[in-house]
Amino acid sequence: MSTLKIHDIAVTDQNRAEYRERGYWRTPKLLSDESIAFLRGEFDRIFRKEYDRDLYPFDRVYEYDLNSPELRKVNNGWWLNDAIREVVTSPRLGRMIAGLTEQAGIRVWHDQVVVKPGVGPEGKNFRAANIGWHQDYAHWQVASSQEMCTLWIALQDTDLTNGGMRTIVGSHRWGLSRDAETFHEKDLDALKDRFSAQGEWLDEPCVLKSGEASVHHCLTFHGSGPNLTHDPRLSLIIHYMPNGTFYLGRVDPYQKILPDRKGNRHANVPLLGPNAGPGTPFDGECFPQVWPALVK
């Protein structure tokens, strides 16, 4: 049975102002050292396909070579692993997110269990595990809210050396950029050339101690480079949405601005069922409410 300890964080007016102005905020330590060690072991179990529930990984069955230097990622790890579920559905984290984003209610959009293997100092030109500069909402344009956000929890000390996240400070105020659904693109310099004309390109490393996290707005540009150590970099990533977020449908008002956008599709839509249409809320057990806490 899990013995995770998730700290209760009180968000201040200064924290809220920083998030609004900069598009991201670094949290205090969220997890105890014992919880971090336990979760690292659970990451290993997930990628060895040792699941706590009789389910497959969401979206597709991933096949990973555990000796490969390429990025390993499973979405909705909370469906597979009880400890991951405890963190992803934590009301304490939900209350923190609600306080920071000034939303009355918060639900989970989905999570990501991510391992970026180390390639060593000689791997500075290795791109296969890069995360391209992108805006999360560019991938989520099926959803009605542009106040979604991401909590990125580090399970070890994290900086540029081991492929930590980088953010473009204030880029959320540029609005939704055309063709910014570029998570899977690897050439960070080429993406910078594509997007930097929109505003000041202030590239800031998100340096975190183990158990700390960052929260970034869904329009904040972010990405990451190679892990130049010999140890894997582990992160538990939780995407949140305001309660009441709904499906915009295959065609919506943004279509006039961004025609033919690939972000108009998302694997979460089939979870709404065969009768979904514009206005169907993303709710129910696939999108758990984490604040206000539900009485069980």
Instruction: Decide: residue 34, CB within 10 A, 0-12 exposed, 13-18 middle, 19+ buried.
Output: exposed
Torsion of CA 118, 57, 179, 98, to 10 degrees: -90
pLDDT at position 262 is 52
CB 237 within 8 A of CB 158: no
Instruction: Decide: residue 117, CB within 10 A, 0-12 exposed, 13-18 middle, 19+ buried.
Output: buried
pLDDT at position 190 is 97
Mean pLDDT by 10 residues, the chain (296 residues): 87 99 99 98 95 86 76 95 98 98 98 96 93 96 96 99 98 94 94 96 98 99 98 98 93 49 75 94 98 79
pTM of the model: 0.94
pLDDT at position 296 is 56
| Bond before 270 cis per omega within 30 degrees | no
pLDDT at position 157 is 99
pLDDT at position 56 is 87
Q: Report the DSSP beta bridge partners of residue 112.
A: 75, 237
How large is the angle between the packed helices 91-101 and 13-22, nearest 10 degrees? 70
Q: Which CATH superfamily is domain 13-253 in?
A: q2cbj1_9rhob like domain (2.60.120.620)
pLDDT at position 3 is 77
pLDDT at position 295 is 61
